[in-house]
Structure 1
Amino acid sequence: MAQATPQPGAPVDPYRAYNFKLLINGVTNGHFTEVSGLEFTIQRLAYREAGNDRIRYVPGQVDYEPITLHFGLTSSREIWDWVNGAAKGTVSRRNVSIALYDAAGTTEVLRWNVINAWPTRWRGAHLNTLAQEIAIESIALAYESLELETGSGTAAKPTS
């Protein structure tokens, strides 16, 4: 059954921020606890028309901010090998998809495809003998472009 399109002016419930999956090169990575920094800025360039004292603004380049991924520390070396490879000069660009699900967690409602991402920062877990928390690491990813899909979509294709 097709989902009804909201009518203008009709109240629409916002999506919940806790039901998401992260895919790297099309493979689901289920240990991620938080994604932050999903944003970009379009530069504003001043333009003065000849014979006119009014300044107009035109759009310039798009600046994509790094995305930070937080994840529980496990014995898996996949993320560490990706970050460490970049630190040693072997940058492996990967396509990352962030899929947001409905409140029940059963239907994908939005997907952000982060194109040609590569790690720019790694932060190890804070360790404390008095804490009873999960050990959380994080990485920051630089990327070239961002796409948005609505409804059930597929991950961006890897570019190696």
Structure 2
Amino acid sequence: MDHHTAGGYYPPVGFHFKVEFISVGNDNDVRFQSVGGLSMELEVENIKEGGQNLFEYKLPGRSKFSDLNLKRGLLLDSELIKWIKDALYNRDFKPANMNISLLNSDHEPLLTWQVFNAWPRKWSVSDLNATENSIMVETLEIAYTYFTVKKG
């Protein structure tokens, strides 16, 4: 039996995706080389009980969401860069919602992370180096309130 088709399931490949900033950005602004930081964890509250020195109770606390790290080749003409500059230079923050979609081979979304109230925290550009023939990469660090995941 062919182990590649066991149960007919193929895990989706992680390099076929699209990033949309809803209400910000143009067609160029969906192409990113990498997206990092789609993670969520629960904070833990430790509660000590009187007379009990061996252990403390651990209770689930708030949900905590990591900042997103987006990387792409440097774009000069970009609505997104204007949004970032407005926030970082002019302190004019306009939080935007985002969709990060994992796509199938027909470019249809398999899973979509819906990210709420995103705003730019940091914008950096790769080092300038005359000895390397590599493209300039910009990195966006995006803070946000929370995300949900939906199929399709």
TM range (shorter): 0.7 to 0.9
Within 5 A, what are the aligned runs for 1:7-156?
10=7, 12-25=9-22, 29-47=29-47, 55-87=56-88, 88-102=90-104, 104-151=105-152
Shift of 1:126: 2.7
Shift of 1:105: 4.3
Q: What percent of counterpart residues are identical?
A: 25
Which has more helix, going by share of residues? Answer: 2
* Matched positions, count: 142
Q: Deviations over 1:7-64 (max 9, x none)?
A: xx95732210110001101665333111011112210112356887763322111121
Paired letter, 2:98: V
- Give the conservation status (yes or no) of the 8 Å contact 1:19–1:105: no
- Give the conservation status (yes or no) of the 8 Å contact 1:44–1:57: yes
Cα RMSD of the aligned pairs, angstroms, is: 2.4
- 97 and 86 in structure 1: CA distance in 2 versus 1, 3 angstrom threshold: same
Distance 2:61 2:41 in 1: 10
Unaligned runs of 5+ in 2: 1-5
Distance 1:127 1:31 in 2: 22
What's the secondary structure of 2:97's corresponding residue?
strand
> Normalising to structure 2: TM-score of the pair?
0.80
Q: Deviations over 1:68-101 (max 9, x none)?
A: 1111112213222212211221111000110001
Paired letter, 1:20: F
Q: 1:5 maps to what in 2? A: none
Distance 2:102 2:132 in 1: 31
Distance 1:57 1:12 in 2: 38
